[in-house]
Structure 1
Protein backbone atom coordinates (compact mmCIF):
# COMPACT_ATOMS: atom_id res chain seq x y z
CA UNK A 1 0.00 0.00 0.00
CA UNK A 2 1.10 3.54 -0.70
CA UNK A 3 0.20 5.93 2.10
CA UNK A 4 0.23 9.65 1.38
CA UNK A 5 0.84 11.44 4.69
CA UNK A 6 -0.61 14.85 4.08
CA UNK A 7 -1.36 18.07 5.90
CA UNK A 8 -0.58 21.78 5.80
CA UNK A 9 2.96 23.14 5.79
CA UNK A 10 4.55 23.02 9.27
CA UNK A 11 1.69 20.92 10.66
CA UNK A 12 3.92 18.29 12.29
CA UNK A 13 4.12 15.60 9.60
CA UNK A 14 7.87 15.05 10.03
CA UNK A 15 7.76 15.40 13.83
CA UNK A 16 4.98 12.82 14.02
CA UNK A 17 6.99 10.45 11.81
CA UNK A 18 10.02 10.92 14.08
CA UNK A 19 7.94 9.88 17.07
CA UNK A 20 6.32 7.01 15.16
CA UNK A 21 9.66 5.46 14.14
CA UNK A 22 11.36 6.03 17.48
CA UNK A 23 10.69 2.55 18.85
CA UNK A 24 10.30 0.68 15.56
CA UNK A 25 12.86 -1.45 13.79
CA UNK A 26 10.67 -2.19 10.75
CA UNK A 27 10.96 1.24 9.09
CA UNK A 28 13.56 2.70 6.73
CA UNK A 29 13.76 5.63 4.39
CA UNK A 30 14.54 9.28 4.86
CA UNK A 31 13.17 12.08 7.01
CA UNK A 32 13.77 15.79 6.49
CA UNK A 33 13.47 17.53 9.87
CA UNK A 34 14.78 20.94 10.97
CA UNK A 35 17.85 21.35 13.16
CA UNK A 36 18.13 23.71 16.14
CA UNK A 37 18.78 26.64 13.79
CA UNK A 38 15.72 25.87 11.69
CA UNK A 39 17.77 24.46 8.80
CA UNK A 40 16.64 21.24 7.16
CA UNK A 41 18.73 18.11 7.09
CA UNK A 42 18.26 14.54 5.94
CA UNK A 43 18.01 11.70 8.44
CA UNK A 44 18.56 8.11 7.28
CA UNK A 45 16.11 6.12 9.37
CA UNK A 46 17.89 2.74 9.61
CA UNK A 47 21.43 4.06 9.97
CA UNK A 48 20.45 7.12 12.07
CA UNK A 49 22.93 9.17 10.02
CA UNK A 50 22.13 12.78 9.33
CA UNK A 51 23.53 15.14 6.75
CA UNK A 52 23.00 18.78 5.92
CA UNK A 53 20.49 19.74 3.24
CA UNK A 54 19.79 23.44 3.72
CA UNK A 55 22.45 26.15 3.92
CA UNK A 56 22.58 29.92 3.90
CA UNK A 57 22.85 31.33 0.41
CA UNK A 58 26.39 31.47 -0.93
CA UNK A 59 28.29 31.02 -4.16
CA UNK A 60 30.68 28.34 -2.90
CA UNK A 61 28.38 25.33 -3.24
CA UNK A 62 26.35 23.66 -5.97
CA UNK A 63 22.85 24.52 -4.77
CA UNK A 64 19.19 24.62 -5.68
CA UNK A 65 17.31 27.74 -4.60
CA UNK A 66 13.56 27.49 -4.19
CA UNK A 67 11.80 30.39 -2.52
CA UNK A 68 13.70 31.35 0.62
CA UNK A 69 15.49 27.98 0.80
CA UNK A 70 18.94 27.03 -0.48
CA UNK A 71 19.58 23.29 -0.72
CA UNK A 72 22.78 21.39 -1.46
CA UNK A 73 22.67 19.35 -4.66
CA UNK A 74 25.15 16.96 -3.08
CA UNK A 75 22.64 16.25 -0.29
CA UNK A 76 19.97 15.28 -2.82
CA UNK A 77 22.48 13.04 -4.62
CA UNK A 78 23.36 11.30 -1.37
CA UNK A 79 19.69 11.05 -0.36
CA UNK A 80 18.67 9.52 -3.70
CA UNK A 81 21.51 7.01 -3.49
CA UNK A 82 20.51 6.03 0.05
CA UNK A 83 16.83 5.69 -0.82
CA UNK A 84 17.45 3.57 -3.91
CA UNK A 85 19.79 1.24 -2.01
CA UNK A 86 17.62 1.05 1.13
CA UNK A 87 14.46 0.37 -0.89
CA UNK A 88 15.90 -3.03 -1.84
CA UNK A 89 15.79 -4.16 1.82
CA UNK A 90 12.89 -6.57 2.24
CA UNK A 91 13.21 -6.65 6.04
CA UNK A 92 11.15 -3.52 6.63
CA UNK A 93 7.39 -3.08 6.76
CA UNK A 94 7.39 0.65 6.01
CA UNK A 95 9.53 2.82 3.76
CA UNK A 96 9.34 6.62 4.17
CA UNK A 97 10.19 9.43 1.75
CA UNK A 98 9.95 12.87 3.38
CA UNK A 99 8.97 14.73 1.32
CA UNK A 100 7.62 14.86 -2.20
CA UNK A 101 7.19 18.55 -3.00
CA UNK A 102 7.76 21.34 -5.48
CA UNK A 103 11.25 20.20 -6.47
CA UNK A 104 10.10 16.67 -7.18
CA UNK A 105 7.26 18.02 -9.34
CA UNK A 106 10.03 19.69 -11.40
CA UNK A 107 11.89 16.33 -11.62
CA UNK A 108 14.51 17.56 -9.14
CA UNK A 109 15.29 16.88 -5.49
CA UNK A 110 14.22 13.35 -4.52
CA UNK A 111 12.45 12.74 -7.84
CA UNK A 112 14.96 10.16 -9.09
CA UNK A 113 14.46 7.82 -6.16
CA UNK A 114 10.78 8.62 -5.68
CA UNK A 115 9.95 7.79 -9.29
CA UNK A 116 11.76 4.44 -9.11
CA UNK A 117 10.41 3.46 -5.68
CA UNK A 118 6.82 4.47 -6.45
CA UNK A 119 6.92 2.53 -9.74
CA UNK A 120 8.24 -0.54 -7.93
CA UNK A 121 5.48 -0.31 -5.31
CA UNK A 122 2.80 0.01 -7.98
CA UNK A 123 3.96 -3.36 -9.35
CA UNK A 124 3.56 -4.92 -5.92
CA UNK A 125 5.56 -4.92 -2.72
CA UNK A 126 5.36 -6.36 0.77
CA UNK A 127 6.63 -3.04 2.11
CA UNK A 128 4.24 -0.14 2.68
CA UNK A 129 5.41 3.15 1.18
CA UNK A 130 4.78 6.35 3.16
CA UNK A 131 5.15 9.53 1.11
CA UNK A 132 5.01 12.90 2.87
CA UNK A 133 3.13 15.43 0.72
CA UNK A 134 1.80 18.83 1.75
CA UNK A 135 -1.94 19.14 1.26
CA UNK A 136 -1.72 21.88 -1.39
CA UNK A 137 0.41 19.63 -3.65
CA UNK A 138 -1.40 16.34 -3.09
CA UNK A 139 -3.35 16.19 -6.37
CA UNK A 140 -0.31 17.33 -8.38
CA UNK A 141 1.89 14.64 -6.81
CA UNK A 142 -0.73 11.94 -7.43
CA UNK A 143 -0.95 12.97 -11.09
CA UNK A 144 2.81 13.47 -11.57
CA UNK A 145 3.65 9.97 -10.33
CA UNK A 146 0.43 8.40 -11.65
CA UNK A 147 -0.43 7.00 -8.23
CA UNK A 148 -3.76 5.19 -8.43
CA UNK A 149 -3.87 2.78 -5.49
CA UNK A 150 -3.20 4.77 -2.32
CA UNK A 151 -4.61 5.91 0.98
CA UNK A 152 -4.29 9.45 2.29
CA UNK A 153 -3.49 9.68 5.98
CA UNK A 154 -2.97 12.50 8.46
CA UNK A 155 -0.68 12.77 11.45
CA UNK A 156 -3.57 11.63 13.64
CA UNK A 157 -4.03 8.50 11.48
CA UNK A 158 -0.32 7.77 11.76
CA UNK A 159 -0.54 7.93 15.56
CA UNK A 160 -3.60 5.72 15.85
CA UNK A 161 -4.29 3.57 12.79
CA UNK A 162 -1.08 2.19 11.30
CA UNK A 163 0.20 -0.97 12.96
Structure 2
Protein backbone atom coordinates (compact mmCIF):
# COMPACT_ATOMS: atom_id res chain seq x y z
CA UNK A 1 0.00 0.00 0.00
CA UNK A 2 1.27 3.43 -0.89
CA UNK A 3 1.40 6.35 1.53
CA UNK A 4 -0.07 9.79 1.87
CA UNK A 5 2.55 12.43 2.54
CA UNK A 6 1.96 15.98 3.67
CA UNK A 7 4.63 18.54 2.84
CA UNK A 8 4.07 21.29 5.38
CA UNK A 9 6.04 24.50 5.74
CA UNK A 10 5.13 28.18 6.22
CA UNK A 11 3.62 30.28 3.44
CA UNK A 12 6.21 31.77 1.06
CA UNK A 13 8.93 29.41 2.36
CA UNK A 14 9.73 27.90 -1.03
CA UNK A 15 7.59 24.74 -0.90
CA UNK A 16 6.72 24.85 -4.60
CA UNK A 17 10.32 25.56 -5.60
CA UNK A 18 11.51 22.62 -3.50
CA UNK A 19 9.02 20.37 -5.31
CA UNK A 20 10.05 21.77 -8.71
CA UNK A 21 13.66 20.85 -7.93
CA UNK A 22 12.67 17.41 -6.59
CA UNK A 23 10.41 16.35 -9.49
CA UNK A 24 13.23 15.58 -11.98
CA UNK A 25 14.55 13.02 -9.48
CA UNK A 26 11.32 10.99 -9.42
CA UNK A 27 9.57 9.10 -12.18
CA UNK A 28 5.89 8.82 -12.92
CA UNK A 29 4.62 11.97 -11.22
CA UNK A 30 1.30 13.65 -12.01
CA UNK A 31 -0.88 16.31 -10.46
CA UNK A 32 0.01 19.96 -10.31
CA UNK A 33 2.11 22.68 -8.76
CA UNK A 34 1.07 26.32 -8.40
CA UNK A 35 4.24 28.38 -8.82
CA UNK A 36 4.49 32.15 -8.84
CA UNK A 37 6.08 33.22 -12.11
CA UNK A 38 6.87 36.91 -12.40
CA UNK A 39 4.44 37.62 -9.58
CA UNK A 40 1.53 35.70 -11.13
CA UNK A 41 0.30 32.32 -9.91
CA UNK A 42 0.26 29.58 -12.56
CA UNK A 43 -0.97 26.01 -12.56
CA UNK A 44 1.72 23.60 -13.77
CA UNK A 45 0.46 20.24 -15.02
CA UNK A 46 3.26 17.90 -13.95
CA UNK A 47 2.47 15.10 -16.42
CA UNK A 48 2.19 17.28 -19.53
CA UNK A 49 4.60 20.06 -18.57
CA UNK A 50 1.99 22.69 -19.50
CA UNK A 51 1.47 25.96 -17.62
CA UNK A 52 -1.90 27.66 -17.26
CA UNK A 53 -2.68 31.22 -16.14
CA UNK A 54 -4.29 30.66 -12.76
CA UNK A 55 -4.17 34.10 -11.17
CA UNK A 56 -6.25 36.60 -13.10
CA UNK A 57 -7.38 40.20 -13.12
CA UNK A 58 -10.98 40.00 -11.86
CA UNK A 59 -12.05 42.54 -14.47
CA UNK A 60 -10.83 40.25 -17.25
CA UNK A 61 -12.25 37.01 -15.85
CA UNK A 62 -15.86 37.05 -14.66
CA UNK A 63 -15.68 33.44 -13.39
CA UNK A 64 -13.12 33.75 -10.59
CA UNK A 65 -12.63 33.08 -6.89
CA UNK A 66 -11.03 35.66 -4.62
CA UNK A 67 -8.46 34.69 -2.00
CA UNK A 68 -7.23 37.73 -0.14
CA UNK A 69 -6.00 40.26 -2.68
CA UNK A 70 -5.72 37.66 -5.46
CA UNK A 71 -8.29 36.28 -7.92
CA UNK A 72 -8.10 32.81 -9.47
CA UNK A 73 -9.74 31.54 -12.64
CA UNK A 74 -12.43 28.98 -11.80
CA UNK A 75 -11.82 27.30 -15.17
CA UNK A 76 -8.32 26.45 -13.96
CA UNK A 77 -9.74 25.08 -10.71
CA UNK A 78 -11.98 22.86 -12.84
CA UNK A 79 -8.99 21.80 -14.92
CA UNK A 80 -7.01 20.92 -11.78
CA UNK A 81 -9.90 18.89 -10.40
CA UNK A 82 -10.09 16.99 -13.69
CA UNK A 83 -6.34 16.31 -13.58
CA UNK A 84 -6.80 14.71 -10.16
CA UNK A 85 -9.76 12.61 -11.23
CA UNK A 86 -8.00 11.49 -14.42
CA UNK A 87 -4.94 10.43 -12.43
CA UNK A 88 -6.89 7.84 -10.43
CA UNK A 89 -7.84 6.03 -13.64
CA UNK A 90 -4.17 5.11 -14.02
CA UNK A 91 -2.51 5.81 -10.69
CA UNK A 92 0.87 7.51 -11.21
CA UNK A 93 3.83 6.74 -8.95
CA UNK A 94 3.37 10.14 -7.28
CA UNK A 95 0.25 12.33 -7.32
CA UNK A 96 1.01 15.85 -6.11
CA UNK A 97 -1.49 18.52 -5.04
CA UNK A 98 0.02 21.98 -4.45
CA UNK A 99 -1.71 23.20 -2.40
CA UNK A 100 -4.56 22.31 -0.05
CA UNK A 101 -5.72 25.51 1.63
CA UNK A 102 -8.62 27.32 3.24
CA UNK A 103 -10.85 27.06 0.16
CA UNK A 104 -10.75 23.27 0.29
CA UNK A 105 -10.90 22.90 4.07
CA UNK A 106 -13.39 25.63 5.01
CA UNK A 107 -15.53 26.10 1.94
CA UNK A 108 -15.40 22.86 -0.06
CA UNK A 109 -14.10 24.99 -2.92
CA UNK A 110 -10.86 25.04 -4.86
CA UNK A 111 -9.86 21.46 -5.68
CA UNK A 112 -12.99 20.04 -4.05
CA UNK A 113 -14.82 17.72 -4.44
CA UNK A 114 -12.13 15.98 -6.51
CA UNK A 115 -9.54 16.13 -3.72
CA UNK A 116 -11.76 14.31 -1.23
CA UNK A 117 -12.60 11.72 -3.87
CA UNK A 118 -8.91 11.11 -4.62
CA UNK A 119 -8.10 10.73 -0.91
CA UNK A 120 -10.99 8.30 -0.46
CA UNK A 121 -10.02 6.27 -3.53
CA UNK A 122 -6.41 6.23 -2.37
CA UNK A 123 -7.41 4.73 0.97
CA UNK A 124 -9.85 2.27 -0.63
CA UNK A 125 -7.62 0.94 -3.41
CA UNK A 126 -4.53 -1.21 -3.50
CA UNK A 127 -2.25 1.00 -5.55
CA UNK A 128 1.40 2.00 -5.59
CA UNK A 129 0.73 5.73 -5.86
CA UNK A 130 2.12 7.96 -3.16
CA UNK A 131 -0.08 11.01 -2.66
CA UNK A 132 1.73 14.26 -1.78
CA UNK A 133 -0.41 17.05 -0.35
CA UNK A 134 1.16 20.47 0.16
CA UNK A 135 -0.40 22.17 3.19
CA UNK A 136 0.75 25.36 4.88
CA UNK A 137 1.87 24.84 8.46
CA UNK A 138 -0.90 26.98 9.95
CA UNK A 139 -3.56 24.67 8.45
CA UNK A 140 -1.83 21.34 9.06
CA UNK A 141 -3.83 20.15 12.08
CA UNK A 142 -7.10 21.38 10.62
CA UNK A 143 -6.41 19.58 7.32
CA UNK A 144 -5.48 16.35 9.10
CA UNK A 145 -8.78 16.45 10.99
CA UNK A 146 -10.86 17.51 7.98
CA UNK A 147 -9.52 14.82 5.64
CA UNK A 148 -8.87 12.19 8.35
CA UNK A 149 -5.19 12.07 7.45
CA UNK A 150 -4.04 10.74 10.83
CA UNK A 151 -1.90 8.04 9.16
CA UNK A 152 -0.25 10.51 6.76
CA UNK A 153 3.48 11.09 6.99
CA UNK A 154 4.28 14.77 7.56
CA UNK A 155 7.40 15.95 5.77
CA UNK A 156 9.49 19.06 5.91
CA UNK A 157 12.21 20.27 3.56
CA UNK A 158 14.75 17.77 4.94
CA UNK A 159 12.96 14.97 3.06
CA UNK A 160 13.87 16.72 -0.19
CA UNK A 161 17.50 17.26 0.84
CA UNK A 162 17.03 20.94 1.67
Q: Establish whether TM, by shorter chain, passes 0.5.
A: yes
More divergent stretch after superposition (4-13 vs 143-152): 143-152
SS in 2 for 1:131: strand
What are the residue-to-residue correspondences of 1:120-139 with 2, within 5 Å?
120-124=121-125, 125-139=127-141
Provide the aligned C-alpha RMSD in A.
Answer: 1.5
Q: Are residues 1:8 and 2:10 paired?
A: yes
- Residue pairs, 1:16-95, within 5 angstroms: 16-36=18-38, 38-58=39-59, 60-90=61-91, 92-95=92-95
Structure 2 distance, partners of 1:111, 1:156, is 29
Aligned to 1:142: 144
Unmatched tracts of structure 1, length 5 or more: none
Distance in 2 of aligned mates of 1:32 and 1:60: 19
The residue aligned with 1:119 is: 120
Are the equivalent residues in 2 in contact too, given 1:29–1:87 (CA < 8 A)?
no
SS at match of 1:80: helix
Match of 2:133, SS state, is: strand
Q: Note if contact 1:30-1:97 (Cα within 8 Å) is conserved in structure 2.
A: yes
Q: Deviating runs (4+, > 4 A) in structure 1?
A: none
Distance 1:156 1:87 in 2: 28
Please report the TM-score for the alignment, with normalisation by the length of structure 1: 0.90
In structure 2, the partner of 1:157 is 159
Deviations 1:62-100 (A, max 9, x none): 11111111011111011101111023223x321100100
Paired positions, count: 158
